[in-house]
Each structure stands twice: as C-alpha cells, then as structure tokens.
Amino acid sequence: MAGLKVAVIGGGSTGSAIVHDLASRGIDVTLIERGLIGGGTSGKFHGLLHSGARYAMNDPKAAEESIIDNKVISEIAPHCVEDTGGVFVALKGDDQSFADKFYTSCRNAGIPVESMPVETLIQEEPFINKDVSVAFSVPDKVINSFRFITSLLLTAKSEGAKIMLGREVVDFEREGKDVTGVKIKDNLTGKISTLKFDLIVNASGAWAGRLLREHLNIDSIKMVLSAGTMAVVSRRFARRVLNRLRLPSDGDIIVPYFNESIIGTTSFIVDDPDNFDIDRDDIDFLLNEGAKLVPAVKSYGISRYYAGVRPLIAADEGSSGDSRSISRDFRIFDHEKTDDTPGIMTIVGGKLSTARLMGKQISDFVCSKLGIKEQSKTDKIKLLWPDLSKENLSELSKSLSIPEQFLREIAFEINSTTYEDIYSPVEDLIVSRKLFI
Ligand SMILES: Cc1cc2nc3c(=O)[nH]c(=O)nc-3n(C[C@H](O)[C@H](O)[C@H](O)COP(=O)(O)OP(=O)(O)OC[C@H]3O[C@@H](n4cnc5c(N)ncnc54)[C@H](O)[C@@H]3O)c2cc1C
C-alpha cells in the first residue's frame, strides 16, 4: 500500500465517511470539497437518523441498512445524536390496513417496532392530534449533520487524511484511458493546480453525474435529482419524531430538531442542484399537512424554509417519473467496468443515516482494487469531538495541528447555531480551512 494515493471528491456525509474509513486503514487519502462543511445536501436535510421504518414497506434494503447504522452511529458519535424515538400514527379516516403490513415489514428488516397504546401516546405527546387511531414506536433518532461531518473530518485528520476545503475539481488528468489526477481551483484565490492520484472516488452527491459527463464524457449514471423542501416552526412540539403511517409521501413527518420542529418534506425534480426555486405553495402545503399531526403548528406558522437535493439513481434507463418510488439505497460504479475508464469510481444514493456503511462498502471496493488487505474498523472507532471540560483540548489541538481557539468554536456549536450563523460564508471558509490545513 506504500505510496498509493486516493482522492475523494465531495465533503458531504458520504465523502467524509469514506475519507475516515480509508484513513483508518492507513491509506494516504485526500478529501477535496469545493465549499464548506455541510455545504451540499448534507447540510440541508431533515435531521433524521433513520430507524429504517420509513422505508420498511417499500424499500427493505434501505430499511435494513438504516437500522444497522442507526445503532452504530449512536455508539460512535453520541455527541451528534439525540435519542428521541419515533412514532408512526394512523389518524381516523386514514387507510388502517397498513398497520399489519408496517409491523411485519419492520420486524422483517430487523427494526424493533412496538404497538403503542393511543392513550399513552397522547399523554406523552400532548400536542399530537387526538384523532390518532393506531400508533407504533420505533427507534428513530435525530442527528446534527454539522457535528457528524466535522467529527468524521477531525477523526480522519487524526488518522492522517488531508482535508482540502474550498477546492473545486474543475477537470481530470488523463494518461490514455486512465484517470490519473484532478485539476482543482482554489475558490478563495482562484489558483488552479494539479494533483496526481492512483484512484479517485467521486462522492459529489447531486453533482456526481454532471462532473462525470462534463469532464470525462461518462454518461452511464442516470441520476434523478429529487429536491425536497422543509419548513421550520420555531418551537418544539414533541419528544419523538412524528410520522404518518402510510407509504412515504409529501408532508408526512415532523422532526423535533433541538428547539424547533421541521415539517417535511416534498419531492420535485430539478435539473441543476445549484439553481432551483422553492415553491411558496409547498410551504403552505407543509404547514397544512403538519397541522394534521400537530394542530398547534398552525398558530405558530413557518419561521424559515430550505431545500436540499437527493442524489437518487433512476430505477431504469429513462426513468424520471415518481421520485418517491426510487430506492434510497446506494450504488457503487466502477468506471473501469462501466465506461472503460480506469482510475475513478462513483458512489451515489443512500442517506446521511447510512453514510458510515456507504463509506465502509466503497472503501472495501477501493482496497480490493488496490490490493490492500486492511479491514474496516469504523463501526468501532469513536469519532473525535473537542471536549471543553477536559484538559485534553490542548493535546488535541497539538496532535491535529488545529489552534485551540478553533476547536473551542467547534465545540460551542450548539443547537441550530453553526459556523454560518457566526461567520459570513467567506470568513467561514477561511476559518474552516484553518481547521484542516
Ligand atoms: C429534502 C431531503 C431530506 C433528507 N432528509 C434526510 C434525513 O432526515 N435523514 C437522512 O439520513 N438522510 C436524509 N436525506 C438524504 C441525505 O441528506 C443525503 O443522502 C446525503 O446528505 C447525501 O450526502 P452526500 O455526501 O452524498 O452529498 P452532499 O452532502 O451533497 O455532498 C456532496 C459534496 O460534493 C461537493 N462537490 C460537488 N461538486 C464538487 C466538485 N466539482 N469539487 C469538489 N467538491 C464538489 C459539494 O459541495 C457537496 O458538499 C435527505 C435529503 C433531502 C434532499
């Protein structure tokens, strides 16, 4: 393995988990991210560490993967997770026939599901609609993506990874058919430079297809860019994640995200993940649907809204129809096999909740390609997070070559306050880069 260099493009949850997995196996790996921590979909998601129950009825593989990482991430990154629990409820007038199928599907996927007496639920969740007729509890949790990705990157750095923020891959280097490196643009200075690698992993999420198409003429990955809007109410109404008991659909879930409630979501196809509009009617729709679960949301109204883009894989060529029916499972493409282009592979799909598993599986593939025998240990490695109460802050600062002041700033990031609330995007990039370079 000596001397072999791997690049990972994209510092969302997927790329960050891959870099951690490869670095922990002793591989020389560099992460290249064009913007900030969580600047892609991973910073604009719904906040759920899925139990898998949401997918149990129509997407069993995604459900099974979710419950595995739900347990593992809670163990390795407890500082990122709130163990809220979740509940699936049918309301009077809903199709009650889902109850048995839901219960059996969860059990089959290995998800601990329990029938919950409606009176107990109403007692414990006083804001919930009193028209609940059936309720099931599941181990849904809430995860802070900024903390999770930052923890993955701090851990990867401690394992020897190089983390390059604000660097955009603008082209690839080729030797014959082989992809042998990347051309990157420094988005702060505009400087262009070239880096050589033995293997490149494209984990650029919703941008993955475009990157391959525009710079390598690879058109084999048919992606569906399914955007989703989330509407935030500045008040927490429930201990648990509240879900409607039906197949995944628009406006069927409220996530208690620290002190707020996030109602989601919608699903609409976009062409360009950097440039799309949020329909104001969708916000009214989400408020109305949210009120069916928690009537009180109506009297508070929506304080802000945002949208992210799911990088999904079309079920078959040309498929672009109902994006709700596309699997949330992930896929790995070896472009040597699919496009006669050695030196690069792509991972797309999945969820933030399955990032660690995705990181492990593509790293297994990278290792088998490079002839490396080291096994993944990421299900056991506790992720780093600066602990202000301990004297080891200065030790951590020295071992990571990150000034104590920045580690303190990371550790102070609480609730919905993130770097972006503290700094302008440019200052944020300057500060974030000091963390890693
Ligand atoms: C509306 C919505 C709600 C969701 N809710 C949940 C949820 O509750 N729970 C859950 O588990 N999952 C959820 N998901 C799914 C989850 O958010 C995504 O699957 C996950 O965040 C994707 O991570 P990623 O790293 O693959 O992509 P991203 O986070 O988008 O990362 C890709 C990165 O690549 C970078 N990049 C792009 N081009 C280049 C380039 N040329 N050079 C360098 N860098 C580049 C981008 O800047 C970006 O940071 C949701 C998704 C959506 C859209």
Atom in ligand 1 nearest the alpha carbon of residue 307:
1
345-370 average pLDDT score: 95
145 within ligand 1 shell (Cβ under 6 A): no
pLDDT of 96 over the 80 cut: yes
The Å distance, Cα 32 to ligand 1 centre, comes to 15
* pLDDT in the model for residue 427: 58
Q: Tell me the CA distances in angstroms from 430 to 152, 185, 350, one per residue in order.
A: 20, 15, 30
The distance of Cα 237 from the centroid of its chain, to the nearest Å, equals 24
304-310 average pLDDT score: 94
The pLDDT-based confidence of 104 (bands split at 50, 70, 90) is very high
Closest CA to 145 of 68, 41, 267: 41
Angle, helices 404-411/392-400, rounded to nearest 10 degrees: 110
The span from the CA of 62 to the CA of 81, in Å, is: 20
18 within ligand 1 shell (Cβ under 6 A): no
The pLDDT-based confidence of 430 (bands split at 50, 70, 90) is low
The predicted-structure confidence for 112-159, as pLDDT tens digits, reads as follows 999 999 999 999 999 999 999 999 999 999 999 988 999 999 999 999
The span from the CA of 11 to the CA of 89, in Å, is: 36
Question: Would you say 290 and 239 are in contact if contact means Cβ atoms under 8 Å apart?
Answer: no
The predicted-structure confidence for 240-251, as pLDDT tens digits, reads as follows 999 999 988 999
The predicted-structure confidence for 376-405, as pLDDT tens digits, reads as follows 999 999 999 888 776 778 888 888 887 787
The span from the CA of 223 to the CA of 105, in Å, is: 28
The predicted-structure confidence for 191-223, as pLDDT tens digits, reads as follows 999 999 999 999 999 999 999 999 999 999 989
134 within ligand 1 shell (Cβ under 6 A): no
Fold classified for 81-142+223-313:
D-Amino Acid Oxidase; Chain A, domain 2 (3.30.9)
The pLDDT-based confidence of 2 (bands split at 50, 70, 90) is low
* pLDDT in the model for residue 322: 59
Question: Would you say 132 and 125 are in contact if contact means Cβ atoms under 8 Å apart?
Answer: no
Q: Can you give the three-state secondary structure of 250-267, one letter per residue?
A: CCCEEEEECCEEEEECCC
State the virtual CA torsion across 308, 264, 311, 248 in degrees, nearest 10. -170
Q: Where in the sequence of the chain do the CATH 3.30.9.10 domains occur?
A: 81-142+223-313
Two tokens, residue 391? 């004297």
The Å distance, Cα 175 to ligand 1 centre, comes to 31
Closest CA to 14 of 59, 69, 53: 69
The span from the CA of 219 to the CA of 221, in Å, is: 6
Alpha helix positions (H), 198-267: 208-216
SS3 content of the chain, % helix, strand, coil (to 5): 35, 25, 40
The span from the CA of 347 to the CA of 168, in Å, is: 18
The Å distance, Cα 354 to ligand 1 centre, comes to 12
The CATH number assigned to the domain with range 5-42+146-222+326-436 reads: 3.50.50.60
pLDDT of 269 over the 70 cut: yes
The span from the CA of 288 to the CA of 129, in Å, is: 13
For 434, counting Cβ atoms within 10 Å of its Cβ (0-12 exposed, 13-18 middle, 19+ buried), the class is: middle
The span from the CA of 323 to the CA of 346, in Å, is: 21
The Å distance, Cα 311 to ligand 1 centre, comes to 7
pLDDT of 418 over the 50 cut: no
β-strand pairing of 260-264 with 223-233: antiparallel
Q: Tell me the CA distances in angstroms from 42 to 54, 108, 163, 243, 285, one per residue in order.
A: 19, 29, 17, 21, 24
Two tokens, residue 267? 């699903």
Instruction: Round to the nearest angstrom and report the end-to-end CA distance of the chain.
Output: 24
The Å distance, Cα 407 to ligand 1 centre, comes to 24
* pLDDT in the model for residue 325: 60
pLDDT of 421 over the 80 cut: no
Listed in sequence order, the residues at least 6 apart from 37 whose beta carbon sits closer than 8 Å to its beta carbon are 11, 43, 146, 149, 150, 153, 165, 419, 432
- Ligand 1 pocket test: pick from 142, 207, 274 the residue with the most ligand atoms within 8 Å of its Cβ: 207
β-strand pairing of 132-138 with 5-9: unpaired
Average pLDDT over the chain, rounded to whole?
90
pLDDT of 320 over the 50 cut: no
Question: What percentage of the chain carries pLDDT values higher than 90?
Answer: 77
DSSP per-residue codes, 372-435? --PPP-TTTPPPP---TTSTHHHHHHHHHT--HHHHHHHHT--TT--HHHHS-HHHHHHHHHHH
Secondary structure class of 221 (helix, strand, coil)? coil
46-75 average pLDDT score: 96
Atom in ligand 1 nearest the alpha carbon of residue 47:
8
Two tokens, residue 154? 């701090």
**410: alpha, beta or left, given left = phi > 0 and alpha = psi -120 to 50?**
alpha
pLDDT of 415 over the 80 cut: no
The pLDDT-based confidence of 419 (bands split at 50, 70, 90) is very low
* pLDDT in the model for residue 429: 60
Answering whether pTM is above 0.95, one says: no
305-332 average pLDDT score: 74
